[in-house]
Structure 1
Amino acid sequence: MSSHVENFSILRLAEGILENTKEVIKCLHKSNVALPTFSPTCEELPSTPDFQKLQNRLRTQLEDLQLLVDGPPRFYRHFLMRGYEIAAFQIALDFGFFTLVPSEGDISVGDLANKAGLDQDRTGRVMRLLTTHRFFQESKPGFFSHNSFSIALQGDDELRSLVHYSFDEMLKASAESSVSIKADPFEADSVHCPFFTRFGVPIFDYYKKHPEHSGRFAKAMAGWRKNNYPWSDLRGTVVDVGGGSGHVSIELARLFPHLRFVVQDGSDTMLAQGQQLLTDDIRGRISFTQANFFEPQQYVRASAYIIRQCTHNWADHDVVTIFRSMVPGLEGSAPETPLLINDMILPEPGSNVSRIWERERRQADMVMLVCFGAKQRTVAEFEALLNEADPRYVIRKVNGQGALGLLEVYLDRECGPNNVHS
């Protein structure tokens, strides 16, 4: 009986995969996007919410089918080899394979080894493992060329930086997770986390000590994701709190030429990199100021304050301090001035969401645990920290559907600073 049920389940999954694949094809045709291939010239897939829902549905079915067909023993045998596969990927990144293989044509394993400064034997072994994962292709014996997945890491410096720093600092830190948590099972912050255990300093101090890595980290964090806020309705100056090198402000300044931006960050390195990114069309509308978001906000009369991908780097008590430090700025601005918290939002436990969608957010939560002793948060968790910082804080709008969520938070002026809003 159980065999019949399982066979039926596998068949139903396969049928669902077929139907959802047809829906994906329809969506691509509607968007005038060619069907994906492994060709280096393959078009980028759409990033619309509807297409992402289709992707997640299909990925979930594909994953379930593979798990059922493989069975537990084969799954674990393959899963336990991931660490060694990661070693090959890291070698390819550290020795520049992704940029050394030409964008067009191929390269012999000998020439690649010479350019990388590595012996030919290990160069070939690493490349051949990667080709089994559809990274690169061996166009003829001993000659390698790009495919759509490897070429993506050649032309996109930000994506390559994201992958490289993840394979370098972050995975080394993650290997210390159990050691770190066993040493301090009830403490979690920037000095009670696996990154500190591995490198002996909090993550931001590490990048101050290693400027050769801080630039890569800045590029990795630079991928701008659109947030659903009506920027065109604002007039005046937006303060980008903890804005790093100002990638968000730079992108917004180009899209909304009527706005001005002040980028605040505690790192001279980040601010200097931001200055170098300015072009003549936006130079007069973006300024950079060194500021610590744990200290009271000095800029007043702003149109909005945005803090993007910062709160997830800090433990709860630190986030309370950050939110409390924003109050002087909000009090010195117009009553309807928003504090925009642009960060990932976790689903509440028991929410009916896609398993793949939730996993991506839970994975990001583990990154915060490993690297910062911090966390991603639900709306309820954000609300509790805001209320602890100042009971006048009110969340008026939540958009949590994209890669990053957006909380629109206001200071309720009708409620006294020492009174809890009803």
Structure 2
Amino acid sequence: MKENDFKVDNGKSAFSRAFQTDLESFDYYYKQDPDRGRRFSLGMTPFTGSYASSLVLYPFQDLQPGALIVDVGGGSGHVSSEIAKANPKLKFIVQDLEGPILLGRSAYKDSGLPIEWQIHNAFNPQPVKGADVYFMRRVLHDHSDAIGANILKMICEAMDHKSRILIEDMIAPDLHGEDSEWFINHADIVMMMMHNAKERTLGQWESLIKDADERLSIAKVWKAQGDRKGDCGIIEVKLGP
């Protein structure tokens, strides 16, 4: 941090120094060390169980039959497949970089699940217009505010009046000192080391969403009753007040 003059730059993190690269960690995984990237994708699948299930947090069953969910940064599709098994009348497009998409396409090719696979970088304009849901699970905590706002902006420009963004991520309690929680603090430091990013309080999420586009607003925050698994929740975002 001192060498970088305490400025936020995803290309100059502790990770990039340790691995002697100017690439952000995910680019490094899939461009320069694909074996590590493959292990990372596989490792994220059981890690899903460390948090409240997406199915517990949000009533996907209330969406209209045929509703389209775009899983932005969805990795190898382990979360979309879980939702699709419980809601087979919904449609899914899983988007990510080439490495995890090829892995997911192979893993679920005979599953019969209503999932399409699309190679897409979330930093670029969103190619799927007017989807019912743009879903991001534990994606934005990997990025600085500036980059996170740009990802949301790309999605906002593809939304229509019915579209919603679902941000499933940690919502850090606004606690400090002895009142703070070790798991939140640990995760926050990991995000800083890996990505020059952070875990966010609800107020910080609100600021990030508004930085992306003033038209975006939080419709509702969904959390499992009594859930303390990293204070994970789903922030439902809409266009308009």
Going from structure 1 to structure 2, the CA distance change for 1:210 and 1:263 (only over 3 Å counts) comes to: same
Calculate percent identity across the aligned residue pairs. 34
**Alignment check: 8 A CA contact 1:298 1:328 kept:** no
1:276-315 equivalent positions in 2, closer than 5 A: 276-278=106-108, 280-283=110-113, 285-315=114-144
The corresponding residue for 1:399 is: 222
**Alignment check: 8 A CA contact 1:341 1:408 kept:** yes
**Alignment check: 8 A CA contact 1:296 1:327 kept:** no
Q: Which residue of 34, 41, 50 corresponds with 1:211?
A: 34
Q: Which residue of 44, 65, 74 corresponds with 1:221?
A: 44
Residues in 2 aligned to 1:279 and 1:271: alpha-carbon distance in whole angstroms: 12
Point out the structure with max Rg over C-alpha. 1
The corresponding residue for 1:339 is: 165
Note the C-alpha offset of 1:279. 5.4
The corresponding residue for 1:246 is: 77
Note the C-alpha offset of 1:365. 0.7
Residues in 2 aligned to 1:318 and 1:239: alpha-carbon distance in whole angstroms: 20
1:23-422 equivalent positions in 2, closer than 5 A: 181-201=1-21, 202-208=24-30, 209-222=32-45, 223-224=47-48, 225=51, 226-227=53-54, 228-235=57-64, 236-265=67-96, 267-278=97-108, 280-283=110-113, 285-331=114-160, 335-349=161-175, 355=180, 358-400=181-223, 401=227, 402-403=229-230, 404-412=232-240
Residues in 1 aligned to 2:35 and 2:111: alpha-carbon distance in whole angstroms: 30
TM-score by length of 1: 0.51
Residues in 1 aligned to 2:35 and 2:168: alpha-carbon distance in whole angstroms: 28
- Return the letter of the residue paired with 1:376: E
- Return the letter of the residue paired with 1:257: P
**Partner SS, residue 221 of structure 1:** helix
Instruction: Structure 2: give runs of 5+ residues left out of the alignment.
Output: none
Residues in 2 aligned to 1:346 and 1:189: alpha-carbon distance in whole angstroms: 22
Residues in 2 aligned to 1:351 and 1:342: alpha-carbon distance in whole angstroms: 26
- Return the letter of the residue paired with 2:202: V
- Return the letter of the residue paired with 2:233: G
**Partner SS, residue 158 of structure 2:** helix
Going from structure 1 to structure 2, the CA distance change for 1:271 and 1:352 (only over 3 Å counts) comes to: same
Going from structure 1 to structure 2, the CA distance change for 1:350 and 1:373 (only over 3 Å counts) comes to: closer
**Alignment check: 8 A CA contact 1:340 1:409 kept:** yes
Residues in 2 aligned to 1:383 and 1:339: alpha-carbon distance in whole angstroms: 13
**Alignment check: 8 A CA contact 1:346 1:362 kept:** no
**Alignment check: 8 A CA contact 1:238 1:260 kept:** yes
Going from structure 1 to structure 2, the CA distance change for 1:351 and 1:197 (only over 3 Å counts) comes to: closer
Note the C-alpha offset of 1:203. 0.9
Q: Number of residue pairs matched?
A: 225
**Alignment check: 8 A CA contact 1:240 1:305 kept:** yes
Instruction: Structure 1: give runs of 5+ residues left out of the alignment.
Output: 1-180, 413-420
- Return the letter of the residue paired with 1:370: M
**Partner SS, residue 340 of structure 1:** strand
State the Cα RMSD in Å: 2.0
Note the C-alpha offset of 1:249. 0.7
The corresponding residue for 1:89 is: none
**Alignment check: 8 A CA contact 2:136 2:167 kept:** yes
**Alignment check: 8 A CA contact 1:250 1:282 kept:** no
Residues in 1 aligned to 2:39 and 2:61: alpha-carbon distance in whole angstroms: 32
**Partner SS, residue 183 of structure 1:** coil
Residues in 2 aligned to 1:351 and 1:345: alpha-carbon distance in whole angstroms: 18
- Return the letter of the residue paired with 2:168: N
Residues in 2 aligned to 1:234 and 1:379: alpha-carbon distance in whole angstroms: 25
Going from structure 1 to structure 2, the CA distance change for 1:352 and 1:304 (only over 3 Å counts) comes to: farther
TM-score by length of 2: 0.86
Residues in 2 aligned to 1:342 and 1:206: alpha-carbon distance in whole angstroms: 25
**Alignment check: 8 A CA contact 1:189 1:314 kept:** no
